[in-house]
Amino acid sequence: MSGAAATSPSERNARLAELLDRVRAGESGALEPIVRELNPLLWHVARSQGLSAHDAADVVQTTWLGLVRKADQIHTPAALTGWLVSVTKREAWHYAKRAARQEPTEDVGVDAVAADPELDAGLLADERAVSLMRGFRQLTERCQELLKAVAMADRPDYAAISEALGMPHGSIGPTRGRCLAKLRALLLTDPLWSRT
């Protein structure tokens, strides 16, 4: 599958294990490649909790600082993505609760994620992407949250991400999952996406 399988899971885990060892030894700069790889995923996880762009950025930063402090609690490299996703979601939830108690910030309106197919059409140049988003918006909120996160991961890390988001996946390895099966079925009725 396009680029996603460029590194095998075992190669990736070996690389992550080495990075984590260096972080535990106090070399926090070793995190750079993994920060660059996983930041978009964590950012979208935070945004899915309804945070402004500003708060989402703070949450992502807080999550990484938490990793540096708690690197010794992550025993297997395979658990790293899941750990980061669940800490981001929990931290975002705390931020959202705190923000609800305060005055709404100026940028909430501008930042509100477009949830309207008309807005998508104005923002997306590609007709196929507009049609994809039309199908995506028909999914449940939980399915949207999960699929967005899975899509942001470099390698479809379905099982780890769904568990970290509190949606048990119940299988090992990258299987399609109900949410993706639903979206796929919707797209197959669309001439722009159907494959014959």
| Region 5-24 residues binding other proteins, contact defined as CB under 8 A | none
Distance CA 24, CA 160 (A): 23
Q: Which of 33, 27, 36 is nearest to 60 (CA)?
A: 36
- According to the binding rule CB under 8 A, does residue 137 interact with other proteins? no
Residue written as tokens 């929990």?
90
- According to the binding rule CB under 8 A, does residue 182 interact with other proteins? yes
Cα separations in angstroms, 196 against 46, 52, 134, 189, 191: 38, 42, 21, 11, 10
Distance CA 25, CA 67 (A): 13
* Cβ-proximal residues to 119 (8 Å cutoff; 6+ apart), any chain: none
User: Nearer Cβ to other proteins, position 147 or 164?
Assistant: 147
Distance CA 15, CA 83 (A): 17
- According to the binding rule CB under 8 A, does residue 83 interact with other proteins? no
Q: Could you tell me which stretch among 8-16, 75-83, 130-138 binds other proteins (CB under 8 A)?
A: 130-138
| Region 51-80 residues binding other proteins, contact defined as CB under 8 A | 53-54, 57-58, 60-62, 64-65, 67-69
Q: Which of 88, 99, 70, 77 is nearest to 166 (CA)?
A: 88
- According to the binding rule CB under 8 A, does residue 185 interact with other proteins? yes
Distance CA 92, CA 63 (A): 10
* Cβ-proximal residues to 37 (8 Å cutoff; 6+ apart), any chain: 154
User: Nearer Cβ to other proteins, position 92 or 180?
Assistant: 180
User: Nearer Cβ to other proteins, position 152 or 164?
Assistant: 152
- According to the binding rule CB under 8 A, does residue 47 interact with other proteins? yes
- According to the binding rule CB under 8 A, does residue 167 interact with other proteins? no
CB of 108 to other proteins, least distance (A): 13
User: Nearer Cβ to other proteins, position 11 or 116?
Assistant: 116
**Interface residues with other proteins (CB under 8 A)?**
1-2, 4, 28-29, 31-32, 35-36, 39-40, 43-44, 47, 53-54, 57-58, 60-62, 64-65, 67-69, 113-114, 120, 123-125, 128-129, 132-133, 136, 147-148, 150-152, 156, 158, 171, 173-185, 187-188, 195
